[in-house]
Amino acid sequence: MQMISMEKKWCAAVCVGLSLCASAWAGGNKLVLTGSSTIAPLALEIGKRFEQQNPGVRVDVQTGGSTRGVNDARTGLADIGMASRAMKSDEAQVLVAHRIAMDGIGIILHQKNPVKNLSDEQIKQIYTGQIGNWREVGGEDRKITVVNKAEGRSTLELFLHHFQLNNPDIRAHVVIGDNQQGIKTVAGNVGAIGYVSIGTAEYEQTHGTPIQLLPMAGVGASVANVREGKFPLSRPLNLLTKGTPTGLAKRFIEFAQSAAVDDLVTAQYFVPLAR
């Protein structure tokens, strides 16, 4: 009986030890990234390549908007946050931003909309409800459907800042989350107007989605113009950590900032880092 009891204790100790080792192995070999829906597809591709080069490592990418990325990185719910904007002063006191690419935000209309240019003032008047029909800006007699981003999205914050608006000023007919929702909404409504990542919009255009990007301040909305610093509404794509990253997070960020992923950045129609 004593032998059996000792054997049970030994087995239990081994099982606990193996369980702890397994937990430590999983924790040390898994990265959780949350946040920006703009960055997420790129982070997913970078994560796949990182996994290939580091057998046994798993990279889990989740969306939810830049605000989620900031909050999750700050509270430790994510190893790395994703934010498609610069840090705010209070955020920068806790978080470290690691830029992995650049992007621009462009105004999109349906491909069949004959309007090819809008001034900043016209865009502002459309979004605040002062202009409600396309004929008022040289288009057809058609009601304008205003598509706006949901709160917590970095594109909304940048849009409001550029046009010097507050969110309550916006008279939206449709409120969407990620870029794909915005593109799908505009592509399905000839009278719609929205704003999304230029990289994502260019990608969709080349794959037959019926949208068009409008120039801003006379500068074409293109990845090339973002790269050259010409486009007025551009932003950094950042990975966020609470303090200086170490271990696996540090290795992943260094990989995401390296020339080894420039092809992935370009494939997503973003602008690689200058080196």
User: Per residue in 37-68, pLDDT tens?
Assistant: 889 999 999 999 999 999 999 999 999 999 99
Residue keyed to tokens 């370009």: 266
- Among 23-37, 187-201, 230-244, the range scoring the smallest mean pLDDT is 23-37
Structural domain boundaries of the chain? 2-102+236-267, 103-227
- CB-based burial of residue 87 (10 Å sphere; 0-12 exposed, 13-18 middle, 19+ buried)? middle
Q: What's the confidence (pLDDT) of residue 11?
A: 39
- CB-based burial of residue 161 (10 Å sphere; 0-12 exposed, 13-18 middle, 19+ buried)? exposed
**Greater confidence, 14 or 235?**
235
For domain 2-102+236-267, give the CATH superfamily.
Answer: Periplasmic binding protein-like II (3.40.190.10)
Orientation of helix 66-75 relative to helix 154-162, angle to 10°: 120
Mean pLDDT of 248-254: 98
CA distance 275 to 271: 12
Write the CA distances from 51 to 72, 243, 252, integer angstroms. 22, 24, 10
pLDDT tens per residue, range 5-31:
433 333 343 333 333 333 333 347 999
Q: What's the confidence (pLDDT) of residue 56?
A: 96
- Among 121-130, 153-162, 205-214, the range scoring the smallest mean pLDDT is 153-162
Write the CA distances from 134 to 37, 109, 119, 123, 211, integer angstroms. 30, 11, 14, 11, 16
Name the band, by pLDDT with cuts 50, 70 and 90, for residue 258.
very high
Q: What is the CATH number of domain 103-227?
A: 3.40.190.10
Q: Which of 258, 260, 252 is nearest to 29 (CA)?
A: 252
pLDDT tens per residue, range 264-275:
999 888 999 877
CA distance 183 to 209: 8
pLDDT tens per residue, range 148-184:
999 878 889 889 989 999 999 999 999 998 889 999 9
Q: What percent of the chain has pLDDT over 90?
A: 76
> In whole numbers, what is the pLDDT of the chain averaged over residues?
89
CA distance 56 to 25: 9
Residue 138: pLDDT over 50: yes
Matching CATH topology for 2-102+236-267 and 103-227?
Answer: yes
